[in-house]
C-alpha cells in the first residue's frame, strides 16, 4: 500500500512510497498508487513549432520573439493528460545570459515563462506549476560547476524568484553529487520550506552512475533533504537501470527520459545547440509508454518525458495509465 501525504494543494504525493505489489492472499488487490504525470520536452517542441534556427538561448528568447508559443505547448501537455507544467526557465541563468548580452532581461524572461505557465494552467482549470532550474554554465558538464558558494548563491536567487509562483521547484539534469549539494542548499536558502524535487542525469550506458561517473547511490546522504528524486534527460534504457537505486532512497521517485540517439561529443563543447543531437525514430509514443509503464511497475509515481518527447508521448502514457487503473494526480 502506498503511503501518500499531501504537502501542496493538489495532492502531490510526498513521503515514502513503497513499490506496488500483490495484496494479501485471498484479499482483493490494493488500490494502485496515484501517478503524477509530468509533461514532456519543451526545447525541441519549440524548435519544431517555431521554425527558427536554434541558438544556445533560442528556447528562452522564443518567449519574446514568439509570444504565446510556450503557453500553447503547456496547454497541449495539459490536454494530453499531464498533471503539471514545467516552466521554461531551465536555462535562465546569469552566466548564460551574460555571454549573449541579455542579462538586463533576466527578470523579464522569468516573468514571461511563469506567466505563460500560469495562463495555460488557469485555462486548463487545474494542475501544478513546477519551477525548473537547470545546470549552471552547461548541461551534462559536471566539470563546469562553479565553486560551491557561488553555485549556491545563484540557485538561491533563482529559487526566490520561482517560489512565489510555483507549487514546487525541480532542479533538473543534475550531473554530480557536488551539483546536487549546491542545488539543494541553494533552493533551501532561497525558498525555505518549498517542495523540492531533485532530478539527476545518469550515464546512458550505465544508469547506476551519474554523468560524473559517481555512483547514483552516492546521493543517499542528500535525498533526505528533498521531497522526491528523479532521473531525467538520459536514455530510457538507462532509466530502467536507475529505478532500483532510486527506489532504495525511500522517497517518491520516477523518471523522464530523452529520445536522443546519444549525447554527442560536439554537444559537450561550449555553447552547444540542440541541432547537434538527433532523435531516435523508433522511440514512438507507444514505445516510450512501454518504458514509462515499466518504471511504474518498479514503484515510480512520477513519470513523464524530456527532450524529443512531445504531447503525443504524454497522451500515450496517460492512456496506458487509465487502462491499467492508475489514478492520475
Burial of 240: CB neighbours in 10 Å, binned 0-12, 13-18, 19+: middle
Radius of gyration of the chain measured on its C-alpha atoms: 18
Q: Which domains does the chain have, with CATH numbers?
A: 37-324 (3.20.20.330)
Q: How do 302-305 and 36-37 pair as beta strands?
A: parallel
Task: List per-residue pLDDT tens for the chain, 329 residues long.
Answer: 333 333 333 334 333 333 333 333 445 778 999 999 999 999 889 888 877 666 677 788 888 888 899 999 999 999 999 999 999 999 999 998 998 888 999 999 999 999 999 999 999 999 999 999 999 999 999 999 999 999 999 999 999 999 999 999 999 999 999 999 999 999 999 999 999 999 999 999 999 999 999 999 999 999 999 999 999 999 999 999 999 999 999 999 999 999 866 543 444 445 444 444 456 677 799 999 999 999 999 999 999 999 999 999 999 999 999 999 999 99
Element (H, E) at 196: strand 196-200
Contact, 180 vs 219, CB < 8 A?
yes
- 307: cell is 527532450
pLDDT at 12: 40
| Helix ranges (DSSP H) in the chain | 43-50, 58-65, 69-80, 94-99, 106-124, 148-162, 177-190, 220-223, 236-247, 285-297, 311-324
pLDDT of residue 261: 66
295-322 burial code (b ≥16 CB/10 A, e <16)? bbebbbbbbbbbbbbbbebbbbbbebbe
Measure the CA–CA gap between 78 and 314, rounded to whole angstroms. Answer: 9
Amino acid at each position: 500500500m502506498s503511503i501518500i501525504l499531501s504537502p501542496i494543494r493538489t495532492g502531490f504525493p510526498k513521503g515514502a512510497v513503497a513499490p506496488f505489489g500483490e495484496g494479501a492472499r485471498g484479499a482483493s488487490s490494493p488500490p494502485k498508487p496515484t501517478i503524477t504525470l509530468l509533461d514532456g520536452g519543451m526545447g525541441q517542441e519549440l524548435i519544431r513549432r517555431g521554425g527558427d534556427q536554434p541558438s544556445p538561448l533560442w528556447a528562452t528568447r522564443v518567449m519574446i520573439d514568439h509570444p504565446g508559443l510556450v503557453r500553447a505547448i503547456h496547454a497541449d501537455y495539459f490536454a494530453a493528460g499531464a498533471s503539471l507544467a514545467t516552466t521554461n526557465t531551465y536555462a535562465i541563468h546569469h552566466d548564460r545570459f551574460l555571454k549573449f548580452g541579455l542579462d538586463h532581461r533576466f527578470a523579464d524572461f522569468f516573468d514571461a515563462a511563469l506567466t505563460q505557465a500560469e495562463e495555460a494552467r488557469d485555462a486548463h482549470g487545474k494542475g501544478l506549476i513546477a519551477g525548473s532550474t537547470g545546470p549552471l554554465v552547461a548541461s551534462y558538464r559536471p566539470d563546469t560547476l562553479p565553486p560551491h558558494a557561488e553555485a549556491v548563491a545563484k540557485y538561491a536567487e533563482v529559487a526566490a524568484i520561482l517560489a512565489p509562483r510555483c507549487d514546487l521547484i525541480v532542479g533538473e539534469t543534475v550531473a554530480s553529487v557536488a551539483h546536487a549539494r549546491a542545488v539543494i542548499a541553494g533552493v533551501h536558502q532561497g525558498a525555505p520550506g518549498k517542495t523540492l524535487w531533485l532530478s539527476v542525469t545518469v550515464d546512458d550506458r550505465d544508469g547506476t552512475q551519474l554523468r560524473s561517473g559517481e555512483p547514483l547511490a552516492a546521493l543517499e546522504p542528500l535525498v533526505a533533504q528533498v521531497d522526491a528524486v528523479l532521473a531525467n534527460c538520459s536514455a530510457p534504457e538507462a532509466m530502467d537501470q536507475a529505478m532500483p537505486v532510486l527506489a532504495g532512497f525511500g522517497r517518491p521517485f520516477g523518471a523522464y527520459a530523452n529520445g536522443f540517439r546519444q549525447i554527442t561529443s560536439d554537444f559537450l563543447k561550449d555553447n552547444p545547440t540542440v541541432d547537434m543531437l538527433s532523435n531516435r525514430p523508433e522511440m514512438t509514443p507507444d514505445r516510450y509508454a512501454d518504458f514509462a509503464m515499466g518504471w511504474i511497475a518498479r514503484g515510480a509515481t512520477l513519470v513523464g518525458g524530456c527532450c524529443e518527447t512531445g504531447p503525443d508521448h504524454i497522451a500515450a502514457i496517460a492512456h496506458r495509465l487509465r487502462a491499467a487503473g492508475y489514478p492520475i494526480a
